[in-house]
Structure 1
Amino acid sequence: MQKVLIIIAMLALSACSSKPEGIEPVQNFNLDKYLGTWYEIARLDHSFERGMSHVTATYTLRDDGKVSVLNKGFSEQDHQWFEAEGVAQFVSEPDVAHLKVSFFRPFYGAYVVFALDEKDYQYALVAGPNRDYLWLLARSPELSHAIRTDLVHQAKELGFDTSELIFVEHHGDVIASKE
């Protein structure tokens, strides 16, 4: 049942690859530095990740220049791991952090990196097609309180309802059963 909900949610999300009004993607974006695994630190609730902990997203470059996306998360309700594989590509230029992502082709959804640790690419804020979708990502499962607070404040200033953020659990015994 959860897989059916994931597909339906992806269809709804993928209806639009435009960025939210007033949200500007990072310029001078370097895809090579962004590739790899990111941990979901916080998110706004949506059905396709509801009840999930230990959520990660791994981005790898494909031979055709597009990006493979592998999202993983542990369903606390079902007590099992779920994966979703997708593909991303730039909406315009490869140095502008506005991509479109599809988990169910030919439908795409917006993926807009609008805040980023520009030096080391250690944390990021990502929006979907509107302010109902927000992710705070980091290269490790923990992010300093100061950086987390600053990023949440940035998102709030841009009109996201940060009072509804879900902070994602990344500790516990389920990690051992991940592989």
Structure 2
Amino acid sequence: MKQSTAIKIATGVAAAAIGGLFLYSRATRPPVINPKVPQPARPVDLARYTGLWYELARHENRFQKNMDAVTAEYTLDPGGKVSIVNSGLCAGETERDVAEGHAIVADTQTGAKLKVSFFGPLYTGDYWVLDHGENYDWSIVGEPSGRYLWLLSRDPHPAADHLQMLFQRIESLGYDRWALRITQQSPIE
């Protein structure tokens, strides 16, 4: 076989593999639960946003499938980057899955829009703090496609009336609260 034919075959195989990964990525995305994602409701002070958050609910996604006891910890690095450590426990497992990443501020006027990366610089995702409590005790996080949503709290077990208020706020932002998966914060048995 001539070298040029081998190069053409290798290039075709590589293109097919990349195309297959692209199609798989597109096919496994969650459905849109909000076709009109609002702009963040208020600015974010990243120094106050840092620390440990407990996930109360999320729109289920492939990278957190069947995961409970989910936490997210944010640390402000020198130079303004944010270090992220997400972790959770899958049913039947005893060791937490951990994902480490970084974020940079994409909207310097409000601090409410970040670009996050857990897979190096080649892939970044949007992270929008759509709303948060005055005291940074809760946060609703989404992104512009309307496919992902997370409800975070400093308290892993907020009072029922407080949780109801948060779900009403999610609905007022245009999301279907019934499309969310409640995250169990008690250890999985």
TM-score (norm 2): 0.75
Deviation at 1:21, TM superposition (A): 4.1
Greater gyration radius: 2
Correspondence 1:150 to 2:148:
no
Matched with 1:31 is: 46
Aligned length: 158
Correspondence 1:105 to 2:120:
yes
Correspondence 1:163 to 2:170:
no
Matched with 2:69 is: 54
**More displaced stretch, 58-67 vs 78-87:** 78-87
Partner letter of residue 167 of structure 2?
A: V
In 2, the alpha carbon distance for the partners of 1:122 and 1:103 equals 25
In 1, the alpha carbon distance for the partners of 2:181 and 2:188 equals 20
Partner letter of residue 111 of structure 1?
A: Y
Partner letter of residue 116 of structure 1?
A: H
Q: What SS does the corresponding residue of 1:104 show, helix, strand or coil?
A: coil
In 2, the alpha carbon distance for the partners of 1:34 and 1:96 equals 10
Q: What SS does the corresponding residue of 1:80 show, helix, strand or coil?
A: coil
In 1, the alpha carbon distance for the partners of 2:92 and 2:61 equals 15
| Alpha-carbon contact 2:37-2:146 (below 8 Å) kept | no
| Same amino acid, percent of matched pairs | 35
| Alpha-carbon contact 1:67-1:89 (below 8 Å) kept | yes
Matched with 1:134 is: 149
In 2, the alpha carbon distance for the partners of 1:22 and 1:44 equals 14
Deviation at 1:27, TM superposition (A): 2.9
1:166–1:173 Cα change, 3 Å: closer
Matched with 1:45 is: 60
User: Which residue, out of 106, 128, 133, partners 1:91?
Assistant: 106
What are the superposed Cα offsets for residues 94-126 of structure 1, whole Å, 9 maximum, x if unpaired?
5331111110122111111111112x1000111
1:92–1:80 Cα change, 3 Å: same
User: Which residue, out of 55, 78, 81, partners 1:63?
Assistant: 78
Q: What SS does the corresponding residue of 1:141 show, helix, strand or coil?
A: coil
Deviation at 1:46, TM superposition (A): 0.5
Unaligned runs of 5+ residues in structure 1 are 1-7, 14-19, 175-179
User: Which residue, out of 130, 139, 148, partners 1:114?
Assistant: 130
Higher strand share: 1
Unaligned runs of 5+ residues in structure 2 are 1-23, 30-34
